[in-house]
Amino acid sequence: MEQIEASATQEPQEDARRGSFRYAWPVQATIELVDANDSSEPLFVTVGHISRDGSDFRSSRELEPGQKVLVTLETDQGQLQIPATVVHSTQSIVKFVIGVKFNLQDSGQADETNGQADDQ
């Protein structure tokens, strides 16, 4: 999360619907399906928002809720790979809006505040 906060150019956005602050962070990311039955190509997307809990992006392909993915983000310090789970996939006018929840326990990158209750 420190890499994201260092790269973000704005203050975090508080949102009562979410348990943590979100950042508008339009960076390039690669989304790879984990344990996919097909040999699908990675998706190249631009992140919309990101928080310590997850992220959203627009995709030309629909992803199924519950699908495991690997998110690779480009940061000023290099690539950051985070396992995640798709929580929603909503059709918009041109593309799908995909939301993922990070599985930081799976990557060993758990935030020290993970497991502590938010005040919101």
Q: Give the Cα separation of 115 and 117 in Å (integer).
A: 6
Q: Are 8 and 25 in contact (CB under 8 A)?
A: yes
Given a cut of 70, whether residue 41 has pLDDT beyond it is: yes
Question: Is 113 within a domain?
Answer: no
Determine, yes or no, domain membership for 79.
yes
pLDDT exceeds 60 at position 65: yes
User: Model's pTM, two decimal places?
Assistant: 0.71
Residue-wise pLDDT tens digits, 77-114? 788 899 999 999 999 888 899 999 999 875 554 444 33
Residue 114 inside a domain? The answer is no
Does a structural domain hold residue 119? no
Domain, as residue range, for 22: 2-107
112, part of any domain: no
Percent of the chain past pLDDT 70, that is, above it, reads 66
Total domain count for the chain?
Answer: 1
CATH number where 49 lies: 2.40.10.220
